[in-house]
Amino acid sequence: MDIPRNRQGFALPEYLAYASIERAIRPYARSDRFAVALVLPRWEDKAIYLRAAAAHLNPLDNFRVSDRAYIGDEKPETYDSILDDFANRRTIVLFKDGESVPQEVAIAFDSVTHLDVPSIRMVQGIVKWIYKLEIGSEDAELLARSDWRHLKLAVVRGRPISRVLSSLRKLQAAPLSASVKRTIIDETISLERMEGYGEAKNWGLDLARDVGDWSTGSLSWDDVDRGILLSGPPGVGKTVFARALARTCKMALVVASYAKWQAKGHLGDFLKAMQGSFGEARKMTPSILFIDELDAFGDRNTVDSDNASYDIKAINGLLEQLDGLEGREGVVVVGACNNPGWIDPAITRPGRLDRQVRIGLPDADARAAIFRMHLREELSAKDHRAFAAATEGMTGADIQQIVRYARRNARRGRHPLTPADVFRHVPPAVPVPPDVIRINAIHEIGHAIVGAALGMSLSTVSIASTLRLDQTRQHVGQAVFARNVWARRTKDHYLDIIAMTMGGIAAEHVFLGCWDDGASGGAGSDLHEATKIAIALERSYGMGKNLASYGPASSLDTNEIRQVDSSLMAEVEVILRDQFDRAKAILEDRRDACLELVDKLVRRQLLPGSEVMEAICQISSVPEKHND
């Protein structure tokens, strides 16, 4: 290692952390600018890893060096200042888990790497380097898996490593104190107490009953669900759910992820690590194998040609392992992802992860329950409801962090926890002006009515009355439609989707005379999404003037196509104009119903889809699609 054996403040734990970090950042070591997120194997060792990361970036302790290492959830600056760090220096940021990596800046990291507990070989090599002594694999494993805070105390200067190992063995054999036992027990909450998980919670409780019946011999394993795919935005608690599920089912938990497997090295190491996780789950039956980041595997039909061989073999390896569980009793696989549409369909076929449940952001009641859970019944139900009202759009992980910071604030102030401690760490929210609320309501009702009139199943339509200052991207409103997985995706199907997508700006045009750039500006805006669908119609699905296809819609690069296909945008313009006019006509025919629903949405902020359908059911005519 490129570090002195006698570095000030360093002991064996720091050298172990240094070696782990060295391996993780090796691809960027010669770069003068990089930003790497490291997810630690044990969060309680974060101070040790922080010292090791700082030594990597500034080995000579030169005060002129601006490279930085810090703990992700303790940095007080804004995301803009974090991005400035990323642009101008070498940066290492430490996180507790993958869900703690802020979504707003995740894309700016060169990599997000899950560090493992140091391997036996690594520990043996470092002990030999420091102490000039070779140790066996059992001793190396003891050092790697010991509490590093105890290890740092045990490794005082001049103490032989044999005495250190003896001390650790005695400490490991000693009974846990009641306080430590209680902490471990409380670390994972049972599924019964968790809120905001909806269908996933119901499935988990059913699984717990089935596993209990199986364990007593009254139910065959063939009748037990063997897998589920959880999807949802980062921070909604997919990993927490897996832990609670394992506790409730009284099953061992094996945690794995695409990043953790990939961090092992090349494809052979990747597949070997994957096999190891499945093998561990088989040995620990009954067990739950939690696999995070399943969408990172991709789809064999749309993989990038440069990485096709690697990705296809990785997916095939996963399918082989999933199939290998058939006939082996006692293993349930819980997969997790942010974007289920990116997953190879073979992974979710019957017999694998065929059950799919989306975990959304918790509503107000769920947020109040999450506060109550993390506050351990401290403060009043009225306080919990007030906290919930101030945290609209937050995830369970966000709420857990708020409570953690509030407790820290109370400890430092040496006073009992108060509501003020909690509110101090709730990001400020500003009320949306009344005129803007009405504009947003018009826009969302436009989506809702056009979609409902075209036969789509509207679940809810909602608008936000406040916005949080800590988020650069957040919903000011949304119309949510249930997806019909059996729908025949013809040209008419896609034209209907384009019309619904343009329903928001069509409503603004009908009722306000114009629209603003919020729905028509950047990537992901309504107009951009409608344009992408129109391009796919013309150049991917063969549903336009030509039968030729440029390939899967997900891989189409709009800017690249425009440079080589001069006629494309003119054809797309015709589609967009036709569907925009069609959406306007639908809204004009239902003008009174639109305005009535806008008033209701402004007052109530959320309407069920059934109420929208009831308001427009008297008018059944729908304008022609055109673009034939």
Enter the DSSP assignment of 117.
Answer: P
Q: Please work out, in degrees rounded to the nearest 5, the angle formed at the alpha carbon of residue 302 by the alpha carbons of 300 and 306.
A: 90
CB 289 within 8 A of CB 256: yes
CB 143 within 8 A of CB 127: yes
Reading the block at residue 216, the tokens are 């007593």
CA atoms within 13 A on the CB side of 320: 11
Torsion of CA 515, 518, 520, 525, to 10 degrees: -140
Selection from 444, 446, 513, 451 nearest residue 479 by Cα: 444
Enter the DSSP assignment of 473.
Answer: S
CB 314 within 8 A of CB 279: no
77 is catalytic: no
> Which residues pair with residue 71 across a beta bridge?
94
Residue at token pair 């399918």? 319
Which of 99, 444, 538, 571 is catalytic? The answer is 444
Element at 110 (helix H, strand E): none
Task: Write phi, then psi, for 286 (nearest 5 degrees).
Answer: -75, 140
Pairing of strands 227-231, 356-358: parallel
d(CA 531, CA 546): 18
Any idea how long the chain is? 628
d(CA 545, CA 479): 32
Query: How far is CA 40 from its chain centroid?
Result: 17
For the stretch 100-105, contacts whose Cβ atoms lie closer than 8 Å and that sit 24 or more positions apart, written own/partner, are 100/39, 100/72, 100/73, 100/397, 101/37, 101/39, 101/72, 101/234, 102/72, 103/233, 103/234, 103/235, 104/79, 104/471, 104/472, 104/473, 105/79
Selection from 597, 575, 577 nearest residue 446 by Cα: 597
Q: Please work out, in degrees rounded to the nearest 5, the angle formed at the alpha carbon of residue 204 by the alpha carbons of 478 and 278.
A: 105
Q: Catalytic residues, which ones?
A: 444
